[in-house]
Structure 1
C-alpha cells in the first residue's frame, strides 16, 4: 500500500472516531445527570483527533 493510501486510510479512521465522539456528545448532552468532566474528556479526545486529521491533510 502506498504512503498516500495509508495516510488516507488513517484519515478515514480518524474521521470515523471523530464522528463517534460527536455522537456520544450529542447523547450525553441530552442526559441530565452527566458529569462535566465526562463531557470535557470527550471534547478533548475529539479535538485531538481533529488536530491529527488536519496534520495528516497537510
Structure 2
C-alpha cells in the first residue's frame, strides 16, 4: 500500500472488506477447531495470531479512510 500518494478510496474499501471477511472466517475456523475432541492448540494459536494481525491491518485502513478532524 503506497501511503505517499493519493489514497484510492475504492481500493481501500475493497481491501477492508476482504480483511474483514478473512477475520470472520478465521473466527469461525477457530471456533470449529476448539470444539473438536482432538484439539490442535498450536494451529489455534497460529490462527489467533493471524487474526490479531488482520485486526491491526483493518484498523490501519480504517484510519486512512476516516479523515482527520482538527478541533
- State whether TM-score is above 0.5: yes
| Shift, 1:35, TM fit | 1.8
Structure showing greater relative contact order (alpha-carbon pairs closer than 8 Å, 6 or more residues apart): 1
Instruction: Structure 2 unaligned segments of length 5 or more: list them.
Output: 1-6, 64-71
Partner Cα separation in structure 2 for residue 25 and residue 36 of structure 1: 10
TM value normalised by structure 2: 0.76
Structure 1 runs of 4+ with >2 Å offset: none
Matched with 2:32 is 27
TM value normalised by structure 1: 0.92
- The total of aligned residue pairs comes to 57
Instruction: Structure 1 unaligned segments of length 5 or more: list them.
Output: none
How large is the RMSD of aligned CA atoms in angstroms?
1.1
**Structure 2 matches for 1:36-55, cutoff 5 A?**
36-55=41-60
Partner Cα separation in structure 1 for residue 14 and residue 40 of structure 2: 34
